[in-house]
C-alpha cells in the first residue's frame, strides 16, 4: 500500500507534532538468518554482537576495509535471527556487500519486502498503541515482539515508536483508527531522526565518512574491544590517536530550496564564505523552515552562520 491512499500532512518539529502515523517508505527492513548469523555479523558490524540483548535495539554501522561507512542501521533480534533498518536508497548495495564473504557461512541476508515499517509519534502515542498491543516498550525494555508484530521504543528527540508489521497487521491497524491521528510519510520520520542526531546515510554519502565523523562513537554504536571487523584498524587508530576532525550537526534555516545531497556546506568567516563540510540530509518543516543534517569540521560554534553552496539561505546550529 502506498501513501496515495493516505492523506499527507505538513511536517512538524518534534515539540509540535500531533499524534501521527508515518509509513516509512524511504527505509528498508533486512533480515539475517542462519546458524552463523551472529558470528558473521560480529565480523562485519561495528558493535559487539555478544552484548546485544533480545530486549533492546541498537545503532551500528557496516563499514568497508578502509573504515568508511556503507550504511547506518538499527539492529535487533528478530524471529530466529536479526533484523536491521536502514535507508532504502543504499539497501541493495549494502546487502550485496554484506553477502560478499558469506559463501562459506550458513547465513541468508535479504530484504523483507512484505514488511511494513510504521512510525508513531506525538501526544498520547503510548496510549494510542495500547488500543492495539498488550504491552508497549520503554527505555529499559526498548523492543517487544508480540506474535508477528515488533515494536521499538525510541527516546529522542521525543518518545516515539517504530512498528515492524506484516501487511495484514498494517491493514488492521490502518482500518481500525479514527480521525484523531494524522497520516504522514517518511519525511516526518526523517525530520525526527535528524533532530535526534542519528546520521542519515543515503547512497550519495555512502563510503565517504568514518563512524566517528558522523558521531557513531557518541551514540555507542562502535565497539573498541571486540576485536577485528571490517574497517576496525582505521576506526581504532582514529579513536586511540584522537584523529577525528569532523562532527555531525543539525542546522536550521528558512527557505524552500532543494539542494542535492552531498552538496558543500559553507561557513562565514569574517566577510568570506569557506567550504567546511557536506550535506547529508534535509527536510522542509512547516513549509517555512528547513532542517538539514551536515558533517562539519569540529571548530564551529553556536554563533557561526552557514549556507549550502550555490544558495543564499542562512542556517544556524540547532541545539537539540
> Residues 58, 225, 223, CA angle at the centre, nearest 5°?
25
273 in a labelled binding site: no
Beta-sheet pairing, 81-87 with 69-78: antiparallel
> Residues 143, 144, 145, CA angle at the centre, nearest 5°?
130
**Residue 67, C-alpha cell as written in the block:** 573504515
The answer to whether 28 and 87 have CB atoms below 8 angstroms apart is yes
> Which sign, positive or negative, has the C-alpha torsion 39, 91, 7, 19?
positive
Separation CA 198–CA 307 (nearest Å): 21
Closest CA relative to residue 60, chosen from 86, 21, 79, 78: 86
Which residues fall within 8 angstroms of residue 33, CB to CB, at 6 or more apart?
Answer: 79, 80, 81, 82, 107, 108
Q: Which helix (H) or strand (E) holds 127?
A: helix 125-129
189 in a labelled binding site: yes
From the annotation, which residues make up the binding site? 27, 189
From the annotation, which residues make up the binding site for folate? 27, 189
Amino acid at each position: 500500500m502506498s501513501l496515495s491512499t493516505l492523506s499527507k500532512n505538513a511536517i512538524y518539529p518534534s515539540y509540535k507534532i500531533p499524534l501521527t502515523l508515518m509509513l516509512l517508505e524511504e527505509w528498508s527492513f533486512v533480515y539475517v538468518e542462519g546458524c552463523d548469523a551472529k558470528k558473521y555479523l560480529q565480523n562485519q558490524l561495528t558493535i559487539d554482537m555478544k552484548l546485544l540483548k533480545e530486549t533492546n535495539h541498537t545503532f551500528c554501522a557496516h563499514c568497508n576495509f578502509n573504515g568508511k561507512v556503507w550504511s547506518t542501521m538499527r539492529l535487533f533480534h528478530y524471529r530466529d535471527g536479526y533484523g536491521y533498518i536502514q535507508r532504502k536508497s543504499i539497501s541493495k548495495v549494502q546487502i550485496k556487500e554484506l553477502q560478499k564473504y558469506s559463501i562459506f557461512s550458513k547465513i541468508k541476508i535479504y530484504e523483507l519486502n512484505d514488511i511494513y515499517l510504521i512510525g508513531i509519534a506525538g501526544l498520547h502515542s503510548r496510549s494510542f498503541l495500547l488500543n492495539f498491543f498488550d504491552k508497549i516498550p520503554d527505555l529499559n525494555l526498548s523492543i517487544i515482539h508480540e506474535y508477528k508484530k515488533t515494536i521499538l521504543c525510541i527516546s529522542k528527540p521525543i518518545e516515539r515508536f517504530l512498528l515492524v508489521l506484516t501487511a495484514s497487521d498494517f491493514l488492521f491497524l490502518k482500518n481500525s483508527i479514527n480521525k484523531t491521528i494524522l497520516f504522514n510519510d517518511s519525511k516526518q520520520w526523517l525530520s525526527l531522526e535528524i533532530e535526534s542526531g542519528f546520521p542519515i546515510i543515503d547512497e550519495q554519502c555512502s563510503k565517504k565518512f568514518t563512524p566517528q565523523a558522523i558521531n557513531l562513537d557518541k551514540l555507542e554504536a562502535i565497539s573498541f574491544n571486540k576485536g577485528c571487523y571490517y574497517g576496525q584498524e582505521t576506526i581504532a587508530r582514529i579513536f586511540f590517536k584522537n584523529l577525528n576532525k569532523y562532527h555531525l550537526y543539525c542546522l536550521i534555516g528558512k527557505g524552500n530550496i532543494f539542494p542535492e545531497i552531498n552538496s558543500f556546506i559553507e561557513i562565514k568567516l569574517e566577510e568570506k564564505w569557506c567550504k567546511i563540510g557536506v550535506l547529508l540530509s534535509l527536510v522542509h518543516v512547516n513549509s517555512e523552515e528547513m532542517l538539514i543534517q551536515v558533517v562539519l569540521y569540529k571548530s564551529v560554534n553556536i554563533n557561526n552562520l552557514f549556507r549550502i553552496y550555490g544558495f543564499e539561505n542562512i542556517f544556524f546550529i540547532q541545539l537539540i
